[in-house]
Amino acid sequence: MAFRRPSSGFADPRSARPAEPSATAGATQVMRPLIATGSAMRDLPSDDRGFLTEVFRSHALPAALAERLLDLAMAPAHAPRPVDRLAIALASHFNFLALEEVLRAPVLLYGSPGSGVSTLAAKLAARFDEREVLVIAAGAHDTKQLADDLEVLDLPLTLAADAIALRKAMGSADGRLVIIDGGTGTLADAAFKRRVHEFREATGAEGLLALAADAGSDEAAAQAAAAERLGTRRLIITKLDTVRSPGAVLAAADLGKLALVAGSIAPSYAFGMRNLTPENLARRLAGSAMRAERWRAAPL
C-alpha cells in the first residue's frame, strides 16, 4: 500500500499541541480561542462581556441595541456559557412567536424584491395537504415560481387579481388555513404599500414581513418601520441558508417592534423552515461570528 508523504509546506501537527499544564496550575485550564488578524494572532477577550462585545461587533449591531443586549446578558449573576447569556438577552429584548401559533390565522406574506416571498409561501404550505391549506397569489405579480413549487407539492394555487377577488377567494377557505402571497415591493412605494393595506383590509389576515438576511441595514430598517405603520407585527428571516449574519434584520426587528417567527434555513420544502428561539438564534449569532472572524474554538 502506498502512502502520500506529507507536504513540506505544513508544520508537524505535534508542534501545534498545547503545552502540558504545569504542576502549579489549577486542576482545570480553559483554552481560550484565538482570533486571526492578518498573520498575527491575538487572544479573544477571556471574559463573557468581552466575548459578547466581539459577537455584536462582528454582526454590526447598532451601538444602542448592542449595549442593551450586553446589559441584559450580564445581568444574571451566573450563566454556564456566554452563549447562554446571549440567549437570555435575546429572550428578554425580542418577542418570539412559534410558527404553529402564527399559522392559526390567515397570513399575508410580503417583502422586498429578492426576499423570497413566493418560496416562503410554498415552504409554509408544504406542511399541509390541500384539505388543510388554501394558497392564494394576490395582485398582478409573477406567479409562475409559486405555481411550479405548489405543483411539486401537489397543491393548487388560487389567483386573485385584486382585493375584491381576494375577498371572494377567502370565502372558499372552508376552515382551511389561508396563506396569501402578497408579492414584493418596497414599502416606500405608495402603490405597493396601498396594495398591502387593501389586502389586509379585505381578508383580516395578519401581515408577515419577509426580510432577507443579506438585506442592507437601511433597506431593512425602512421596510420594518413601514411595516409597523401598516400594523404588521411579525417577521420571518429568509436566506439563512446562505447568509449567516442577520445583524441588519435584528436591528430592523428592534426598530419595527416585530416578533421573530422563523428562519428559512435550507432550500428543502420539508425541512426548510425552523422556528426562531432565543437559544438557536444565540448559537447562530455566536457561531457565525466565530466563522466570520476565523476564531478557533470548540463547537457551541
pLDDT at 42: 42
pLDDT at 271: 76
DSSP 12-62: -GGGGSPPPPPTTS-S------EEEETTEEEEPPSSHHHHHHHHHHHTT--
Q: Please state, in angstroms and rounded to a whole number, the distance separating the CA atoms of residues 141 and 139.
A: 6
Query: How far does CA 62 lie from the centroid of its chain?
Result: 17
pLDDT at 46: 67
Catalogue all structural domains in the chain, each as residue range(s) with its CATH number.
34-95+289-296 (no CATH), 99-276 (3.40.50.300)
pLDDT at 43: 53
CB burial of residue 191 (10 Å; 0-12, 13-18, 19+) = exposed
Q: What is the mean pLDDT of each run of 10 residues along the chain (300 residues)?
A: 36 40 39 40 68 92 97 92 96 96 96 93 94 95 92 95 96 95 94 96 96 94 96 95 88 97 86 91 86 45
Phi-psi region of 299 (alpha: psi -120 to 50; beta: other; left: phi over 0): beta
> Between vectors from CA 187 to CA 184 and to CA 190, what angle results, nearest 5°?
105
Contact 90, 277 (CB under 8 A): no
Please identify which residue in the block is written with the cell numbers 402564527: 102
Query: Which candidate, 47, 115, 62, places its Cα nearest to that of 93?
Result: 62
pLDDT at 103: 94
Contact 264, 123 (CB under 8 A): yes
Contact 99, 275 (CB under 8 A): yes
Query: How far does CA 80 lie from the centroid of its chain?
Result: 25
pLDDT at 223: 96
pLDDT at 293: 52
pLDDT at 45: 63
Instruction: Record the pTM.
Output: 0.80
Query: Which candidate, 210, 156, 148, places its Cα nearest to that of 182?
Result: 210
